[in-house]
Structure 1
């Protein structure tokens, strides 16, 4: 499927070449081109949910809150962020994994984020994280706005997988990059798993999920359980770390549109309504 946003001009930075364009779809003007990209996320859907709030495990891990005030470029990173993503060992690996998913959600395929670090043996490692969906492509040149924080957060949460299994999903939302899946995608991914929303960049981070009651067992069979959780022997469900399940999407969210099927807004357990919601579909 092709998604095109007309490019009006180009700006070249250290890490990314970013064509710019204006939006007339009710969202703030975005930057970048979403071209020849299907919203079916066919890889990198095995994010460790512990990485969504790694500071809960160790204060030296990557803190997403420290990313938002600056543009997403290597020479704009704070000392704390740079230390987290260049740290060798398991904690550094978790920070780099989270950053890779953030970049994939935020930037477009024409953009990338590059940096280097040294492992325990002192060998230089070069990292190149490429964009994919373009939900906040302007982050390459400017700080992340609150609305874009929420879109990136919903995307990252939707790609968490407790089992570490990469599962093909179709992500649909009101955002221009995800709004119009083609007919073949809708046909190939007919089963609504649930929806994800929140803000990974807030203090503290707040991430939410809901589930389609009819498809809970089918989703679990595909190793996707962050929307509905895993049943506990004594009753109740075990949530994915850092993602709070609010219940059935039919109760927490507005009804999906007939054409594209995404949930236009959902409400958290505090009664707050969110419009940056990503609805996920499975084969």
Structure 2
């Protein structure tokens, strides 16, 4: 059997920076692991506030290629901002780039802080969930895959956790003989939506059988965050819709991912396949 590629994405959250952008070539960071096309995602400590930005217009961000000429004046200003809002905008861009682009591309830019110091930044692409964004607009499938990927990497406590990301869609489609499925057996839930839509939204659901394990790993955005009064809430814009068994197609037995989920639970019965399932050891 031929080996398939898996991408090891090592992106650590923190105060990120960014602007004057272009997509450039970088050295590929690929590792062959069994027959998996899934991805082991490291870091995954994105703050929920980075998904709920007024300054960064995501609806305009998808209209052109991910480069300086394609960014609107509003988005350029957002990622150049030396204040807290700019840090959140750059944090989102770093995660979005690593989700969307392949390891042969990057988003390179610079920005100037309040003291006049110039920061040269390079956000590498790794996962390749929407690689065409390097050269052209982000289509709806790409918007949904990037949204699902970014949402899956949000952590309520901003604690980095290594997890397995899987999907019906390439390049995250896992096969039954994958070592990744053995090493990461506890499917914790799924994420889907569109942060680039005129009215952005993203959903999450949990696997009732593995909630305790998700909480042990401090993955509250996958299990639902428990408030002091016992109420279960999502993470910022991420809406927790309940058990995956109620809103998603049953787990694919071979790849251990949810093939599709109801796009807008409670509003319609239409389903989408751009769903990212996450799993833990």
If the TM-score is normalised by the length of the shorter chain, which range does it land in? Answer: 0.7 to 0.9
What number of residue pairs does the alignment pair up?
256
Classify the secondary structure of the residue corresponding to 2:90: helix
CA distance in 1, matches of 2:257, 2:115: 47
Classify the secondary structure of the residue corresponding to 1:54: coil
Structure 2 partner of 1:29: none
Output aligned runs, 1:112-131, within 5 Å: 112-131=106-125
Quick check: 2:22–2:66 contact (8 Å CA) kept in 1?
A: no
- The answer as to 2:94 corresponding to 1:63 is no
Structure 1 partner of 2:15: none
Quick check: 1:34–1:134 contact (8 Å CA) kept in 2?
A: no
Could you tell me which runs of 5 or more consecutive residues in structure 2 were left unpaired when the two chains were aligned: 7-20
Classify the secondary structure of the residue corresponding to 2:97: helix
Aligned-pair Cα RMSD in Å: 2.0
- The answer as to 2:24 corresponding to 1:16 is yes
TM-score, structure 1 length as denominator? 0.85
Structure 1 partner of 2:272: 274
Classify the secondary structure of the residue corresponding to 1:125: strand
Structure 1 residue 54, shift from structure 2 partner:
1.4
Could you tell me which runs of 5 or more consecutive residues in structure 1 were left unpaired when the two chains were aligned: 5-12, 19-32, 56-60
Quick check: 1:262–1:279 contact (8 Å CA) kept in 2?
A: yes
Deviations 1:61-115 (A, max 9, x none): 2222121011111232111111100110211111000000100100011110001
- The answer as to 2:203 corresponding to 1:195 is no
Structure 1 partner of 2:40: 41
Structure 1 residue 14, shift from structure 2 partner:
5.0
Quick check: 1:256–1:262 contact (8 Å CA) kept in 2?
A: yes
Structure 1 residue 214, shift from structure 2 partner:
1.0
Quick check: 1:53–1:63 contact (8 Å CA) kept in 2?
A: no
CA distance in 2, matches of 1:43, 1:37: 16
Structure 1 partner of 2:154: 160
Higher relative contact order (CA 8 A, sep 6+): 2
